[in-house]
Amino acid sequence: MKITVVGAGISGLAAAFAVQQGAQRTGLDVTLDVFEKGDCPGGKIHSEQVGGYLCEWGPNGFLDNKPMTLDLCREAGMGEQLLRSNDAARKRYIFSEGCLQRVPESASEFFRSSLVSWPGKLRLAAEIGVPRRNEGTDETLADFVRRRLGREALDRLVGPMAAGIFAGDPETMSLRSCFPRIHELEQQYGGLIRALLLLARQKRAERRAGKAVAGAAGPGGILTSFAGGIQHLTDGLSRHLGKSLHLGDEVMSITPLKEGFSLRTQRGLVHETDVLIAAVPAMVLASQIEDFSTSMAELLRQIPYAPLHVACFGYTRESVQKGTDGFGYLAARSSGLHSLGTLWSSSIFPGRAPEGRVLLHTMFGGATRPESASMDADEVRRRVQEDLRRTMGITQEPEFVRMIFHKAAIPQYVSGHGARLKALEGHALAYPGLILAGNAFYGVGLNDCVAAANRAANRALALLEHRRQEPVDLYRPAHG
Ligand SMILES: Cc1cc2nc3c(=O)[nH]c(=O)nc-3n(C[C@H](O)[C@H](O)[C@H](O)COP(=O)(O)OP(=O)(O)OC[C@H]3O[C@@H](n4cnc5c(N)ncnc54)[C@H](O)[C@@H]3O)c2cc1C
C-alpha cells in the first residue's frame, strides 16, 4: 500500500518520517514516496555557511516549550546535537521613541520601564477589569488588544510580536487562529492579567525546582537549533528517507481515482497512491486540485501569504555602536523603521560569525508592507542600512551581505481562517485519502508544523489499516 507526500519542507519531511516510523512500529507494509519540486529538501529551511558566517534563510530555530520538534530530533537520532541559544539572548528589545528599549520581564520591571507611557501602563493594568467577550466572534488581534490592553500595548508590545512571528498585520490577523492560547486565557481565566499571575506563580515554582525557564520577555520557550544551523534537522530527516525522496520532481496535478489518487509530475511521471499527504503552500495545492474540486481550490486561494525579505549583514565588532547584548529588537508600529526587526544572530548562537565579527539578521516586508514585494535588493539593502544606523548606530558598510527574498513567506491566518479551515476539511471528507499538512492550516511555527505532520501521518496509517480490513467502503466518495 502506498503513501505519498507532496512537498519536502519540514511539514512533508516530518510527516514522511512519522509514516516510516509508524509503519515499522505496526508492521504495516507501506511504500513511501516524497515528491519535492526543489533540488534540495527543507522548503523555507536553509542554512548557508559563507566565510565563517552562518546565515539562516528562513527559521532560526524552534522553541523548546512544546515537545514536538524536540521529540522529532531525538527520534531521528539528532537529540545529542541540539544547541540551545545563549542565556544572554533572553533579553529582547523594542525600538520605540527613537531608541532600543528592553522588554520588561516582570511586573516591577514593567512599571520602571519607559517602553510604555504612564497612561499606557494604567490602561494596561485596567485589563483586570475588562469583561470577557463571548466566544462567538473571530476577533482580530488588533481589536482584541485595543479592547483589553489599549492602543499603546498594540503599538509597542503586541504589534511588534505579531510582525516577528507571522510577519503579520494585527488589523487582519485572527486572534483565535494565530494566538489560540491568548484566546483561551481570556476564556478560561476571564482576563490576561489574572492568567499571568497564576502562570507566573507556576513558573517560579519551576525555577525553584531547578528547571530552565525562558525569559518572560519572549514568546515562551528557548530558541533551539544545531551548530550547523536548523537545516541540520531537515538534512537528517532526508537521510532517513533515502530513495523515497524524489527531488526536482514537481507535482503538477492530482486526480482522484476510484481508490486513491494519481499524480502527474513535471517530468511526465504518472504516480498512483492510496493516500496523499499534501504539504505544499495553499496556492500550489489549489492549482493541483482545481480540476476536481473548485470549492476547495477557492478556499485555499483565500489564504493570503505575506512577502518577506531577509537581510543577513556581517560587520566588524567595532562598527556596531550599540545593541547585540541580547536576542535582537522588533520595531514598534510607530517607530518609523522600514524593517520589522533585527535578530542579533551571533549573540543568539555561538559560531554564527567569525571571531571579532557580528552577524545581524533583519526582516523586511510582511503583511503591513506589501509594497516590499516589488522592491529590488538594492532598495531593500539601502533601507535596512538606514534602519541599522538609526537603531544601532552602524554607519559602515557590511563586510558580508546575503539577501533572501521569499515572495510568499508566511501564510496569514486572517479573521475567518477557522471557518475557512472547517469548510476545507468538510470538502476534504469527500476524498478520504487526501490529508492536509503544511503551515497554511494549523500553525506556522516549526512545532506546529511537526504536530500537524504527525497527525497527518497517523491518519494516513489509520486509513491504510482500515483499508486493509474494509477496502471498498473506505474509498467510496462521501458525495460527488
Ligand atoms: C523568514 C522566515 C523566518 C521564520 N522563522 C521561524 C522561526 O524562527 N521559528 C519557527 O518556528 N518558524 C519560523 N518560520 C516559519 C517556518 O519556517 C515555516 O512555517 C515552515 O518552515 C514551513 O514549512 P512547510 O513544510 O509547511 O512549508 P515550506 O517550507 O514552504 O515547504 C513546502 C515545500 O513544498 C515544495 N513544493 C512547492 N510546490 C511543489 C510542487 N508542485 N510539487 C512538489 N513540491 C512542491 C516546496 O519546494 C517546499 O519545499 C519562519 C518562516 C520564514 C519564511
**Which residue among 251, 280, 288, 305 is best mutated to probe the pocket of ligand 1, counting the most ligand atoms within 8 A of its Cβ?**
280
For residues 467 and 476, the answer to whether their CB atoms sit within 8 Å is: no
Each residue's pLDDT tens digit, 453-462: 999 999 999 9
Considering the chain, what is the average pLDDT of its residues?
A: 93
- Which residue, by CA, sits nearest to atom 19 of ligand 1? 444
List, in sequence order, the alpha helices (H) in 246-326. 282-289, 294-301
For the chain, what percent of residues have pLDDT higher than 90? Answer: 85
Q: How confident is the model at residue 208 (pLDDT cuts 50, 70, 90)?
A: confident
All three cell numbers of 52: 565563517
- pLDDT above 70 coverage of the chain, percent: 96
Through-space distance between the first and last CA atoms of the chain, rounded to whole angstroms: 25
Residue 408 CA, ligand 1 centroid: distance in Å:
10
Distance CA 67, CA 450 (A): 10
Its CATH class, for the domain covering 2-39+247-303+414-474, is alpha beta
Q: How confident is the model at residue 211 (pLDDT cuts 50, 70, 90)?
A: low
Which atom in ligand 1 lies closest to the alpha carbon of residue 63? 11
Each domain of the chain, given as residue ranges in start order, spans 2-39+247-303+414-474, 47-65+81-88+304-411, 104-213
* 392/100 Cα distance (integer angstroms): 8
Q: Which amino acid is present at 219? A: P
State the cell numbers at 112.
Answer: 520602571
Nearest ligand 1 atom to alpha carbon 411: 19
Between the CA atoms of 142, 147, 151 and 156, what dihedral angle is there, to the nearest 10 degrees?
-60
The domain 47-65+81-88+304-411 is placed in CATH, from the list 3.10.180.10, 1.10.760.10, 3.40.50.150, 3.90.660.20, at 3.90.660.20
Q: How confident is the model over 327-334, as a mean pLDDT?
A: 96
- Spell out which residues line ligand 1, taking CB within 6 angstroms: 6-12, 35-38, 43-45, 58-62, 250-251, 279-281, 284, 308, 310, 406, 409-410, 438-439, 444-446, 449
Whole-prediction pTM:
0.93
Please state which CATH number belongs to domain 104-213: 1.10.3110.10
Q: For residue 136, give Cα distances in angstroms to 181, 183, 411.
A: 16, 12, 24
**Smallest Cα–Cα separation from 363: which of 397, 329, 395?**
329
Q: Do the domains 104-213 and 47-65+81-88+304-411 match in fold?
A: no
From atom 26 of ligand 1, which residue's Cα is the shortest distance away? 438
